[in-house]
Amino acid sequence: MRKLWLSLVVVLGLILAAGCVSEESAGSGGDEEADGAEETDNTSEEGNTEEAESDDELEIAVVPKLVGIPYFNASETGAEQAGEDLGVNVEYTGPTEADAAAQVKVIEDLISQDVDAIAVAPNDPASVEPVLKKAKENDIHVMDWDTPADKELVDLSVKQVDDEEFGRHMAEKLVEAMGTEEGEIAILTGGLSAANLNSWIDAAQSELDENYPDIEIVSDKIPTDEKQQVAYQKTLDLLKSYPDLKGVLAVSTPAPLGAAQAVQEKGLQDEVSVVGSALPTDSEPFLEDGSLDTAVLWNPEQLGYLTVALGKMLAEGEMPEDGQEIEGVGEITVEDDGKTVIMAPPQDYTKENASEFDF
Amino acid sequence: MTNIKLSKESVLGLIALAIFVGLSLFTPGFLSSGNINSMMFQLPEFGLIALGMMVVIITGGIDLSITYIAAFSGVGAALMMTNGFGIFPAIIVGIIFALACGAFNGVVVSKIGVPPILVTLGTMVLFEGVILAITNGNAISGFPDAYSLIGNGYYLGIVPFSLVIFFVFTIITGLLLNKSTWGRRVYMYGSNDLATLFSGVKNSKVLMKVYLYASLLAAVSAIIMTSRYNSVKVDLGSSYLLQSVAAAVLGGTNIHGGYGKVMGTIYAVLIFQFIRNGLNLMGVHSSLVDVVIGAILIAVLTLNFFSDKLSRQKAKAAS
């Protein structure tokens, strides 16, 4: 027994020693790390040239937050279409769960594969920072799509819509659906801390304040935990507490469905208008009887297409320009920083067109 | 049979080796130094959780809260660092957070006697809720540069430091399980808890330490993960939960308790790592990767089951 404890103490001592070494050599350790990186750089470059000889098609990797949900399946269709049209090899791969750690592994494996460009929709922007740095050290072009990563790090950032425009557009659509410029409305949101949802709501609120001063928002934005069931429950409560409610603006994809469900159940299709961000296939049953008036979103298929198209440009050393026409997508907007690309104006899904889409 | 008797673990080791050789022959880029390097960095965080899970499974239990213990401990360390404390106190707090979680599991399992799967299912949801309440679901990030060396730095310039940590904990786990009284009692408890109790062992003490040790390994894994990803979020490493059970079981650990070897789990972790990485390099769709891993798991378990049965029959025939 005593021997065992002795050996344990020795091992523990070793750990501590190891800890000390690494901390003392934090500076030199960094150098060593850089050396290591250079070494791998060289070898990977060799690998690169070899591969370039055998295969001259560009390889663009697109990493979604996770695979196997309708939204990202739609963008996969678009990305692969773009690969065929533009003659590049598209690798669309991501984790099966929206876990940041799993996503980083996928990107690390893509670095080993020596792709030419990686476009990532980060689950957690901070967690992909180190691995994107590593990709850049290996001469891989790095961009983000769908959700922005660290701005300093990426060469290009593909955004589906302009947040300001999107929010204002939703507000306009709601007023249009209500058919009146006065009355009470409520705002549902996915979560209080979601940055993109908040900027949409802020934009919608300023649109209402500026142009429709007679519209009254009955309460602070109401969180629905990104769940249809919660949105449904909260809308029922709202309808009870505010019998004169004219409209509901529901931001985050499950929220409009829940709100519409409540309106449908109460038979208030003509009294209460619901407008929100949702996918057309999900919202079709509610659009049909008018419980949901308009679903506003972007086209995820186009987003996948544009991501690959821009990835190809990037790999070939070009940068997109403001107002440039991208085949299959349309005119894009490039923001003043020169690397944020905005795909297109928001797209409306209504009773008339919802059945044409399969996402 | 007796001269070429190979233990379950060595067979698994050979399978791992075969997979490694096969993949390096048929997958371009698998053997490149960059890829080997990234595999060495990917291994420790999962390996540590799998080891922790193995220790719990040896007692016939399971710890479903282990990845949330890791995330909780990561949040603890992250909060310390973002509030201006140094790395060392942050790591200590991270470990204390995890040990507190482990102690909670341990008390409910060992003193009250609720089945581990129920307890840890409950604490999994509980810890997730607590983390959500603390972080509001946001990521905490922005740690000092020196901290990122733990997960991204090299020890002596060659071996990833995280791999060294993993190696050390592998040895400690092996020593504790095989050489210490506690380790022997863990196996005893796993095979027959009543007999263990009647031979004068304080079962609750043994179990308590099992859950504490598992949470300690989770904390170490959390430190490596937070350092590697420079951020922590409620679902940090959540994809490792069922994978770690799978690795422990693939490594030969008996799900009913009583048997399990460190080396087996390590080989299983290696097999998972090789296959995942290799298939990713081949550009196989990730849902298909899960299918392959699931198929291998079932194949090996069936094989184990039949070989166990066979050897038991032989033993019977011999007696």
Whether residue A272 is predicted with pLDDT greater than 90 in this model: the reply is yes
pLDDT digits 0-9 by tens, A195-217 = 788 889 999 999 999 999 999 99
> How large is the ipTM?
0.79
Contacts of B87 in chain A (CB under 8 A): 23
Which of A23, A47, A97 lies nearest to residue B239, judging by beta carbons?
Answer: A97
Query: Which A residues 288-307 touch B at CB under 8 Å?
Result: none
Domains in chain B (CATH in brackets) are 8-304 (1.10.3470)
pLDDT digits 0-9 by tens, A293-342 = 999 988 888 899 999 999 999 999 888 888 888 887 888 888 888 888 98
Answer whether B70 touches A (CB < 8 Å): no
- Average pLDDT estimate for A233-261: 92
Q: Return the number of other C-beta atoms located less than 10 Å from residue B214's C-beta.
A: 30
Q: Domain coordinates of chain A in residue numbers?
A: 49-161+300-317+324-344, 163-297
Answer whether B41 sits within 8 Å of A33, measured CB to CB.
no
Contacts of B228 in chain A (CB under 8 A): 104, 130
- Distance in Å, alpha carbon of A13 to nearest chain B alpha carbon: 11
Answer whether A114 sits within 8 Å of B179, measured CB to CB.
no
What is the CATH code for A49-161+300-317+324-344? 3.40.50.2300
What gap in Å lies between CA A353 and CA A15, rounded to an integer?
Answer: 64
Q: Return the number of other C-beta atoms located less than 10 Å from residue A51's C-beta.
A: 15
Residues in chain A: 359
Answer whether A33 sits within 8 Å of B153, measured CB to CB.
yes
User: Which pLDDT belongs to residue A195?
Assistant: 75
Answer whether A14 touches B (CB < 8 Å): yes
Q: How would you write the pLDDT of chain B (319 residues) with one tens digit per residue? A: 444 567 778 888 998 999 999 999 988 888 888 888 889 999 999 999 999 999 999 999 999 999 999 999 999 999 999 998 989 999 999 999 999 999 999 999 999 989 999 999 999 999 999 998 898 777 888 888 888 888 888 887 788 999 999 999 999 999 999 999 999 999 999 999 889 999 888 999 999 999 999 999 999 999 999 999 888 888 888 889 989 999 999 998 988 888 999 999 999 999 999 998 898 888 888 788 888 888 888 888 888 788 778 888 888 887 7
What gap in Å lies between CA A114 and CA B281, rounded to an integer?
Answer: 10
User: Which pLDDT belongs to residue B31?
Assistant: 87
Answer whether B277 touches A (CB < 8 Å): yes
* Tokens 């308009």 -> residue: A294
Which of B149, B233, B280 lies nearest to residue A109, judging by beta carbons?
Answer: B280
Q: Pairing state of beta strands A183-189 and A222-223?
A: parallel
pTM of the model: 0.77
Which of B38, B180, B231 lies nearest to residue A124, judging by beta carbons?
Answer: B231
What gap in Å lies between CA A110 and CA B257, rounded to an integer?
Answer: 39
Phi and psi at B236, nearest 5°, equal -55, 120
Beta bridge partners of A86: none
Instruction: List, edge to edge, every strand of the sheet that includes A117-120.
Output: A89-92, A59-63, A117-120, A141-145, A156-159, A340-342, A333-334
Which of B139, B233, B239 lies nearest to residue A102, judging by beta carbons?
Answer: B239
Class of domain A163-297: alpha beta
A317: region left, alpha or beta (phi > 0 left; psi from -120 to 50 alpha): left
- Tokens representing residue A13 in the block: 């001592």
At A11, is the pLDDT very low, low, confident or very high (cuts 50, 70, 90)?
low
Which of A11, A18, A30 lies nearest to residue B164, judging by beta carbons?
Answer: A18
Contacts of B281 in chain A (CB under 8 A): 109, 112-113
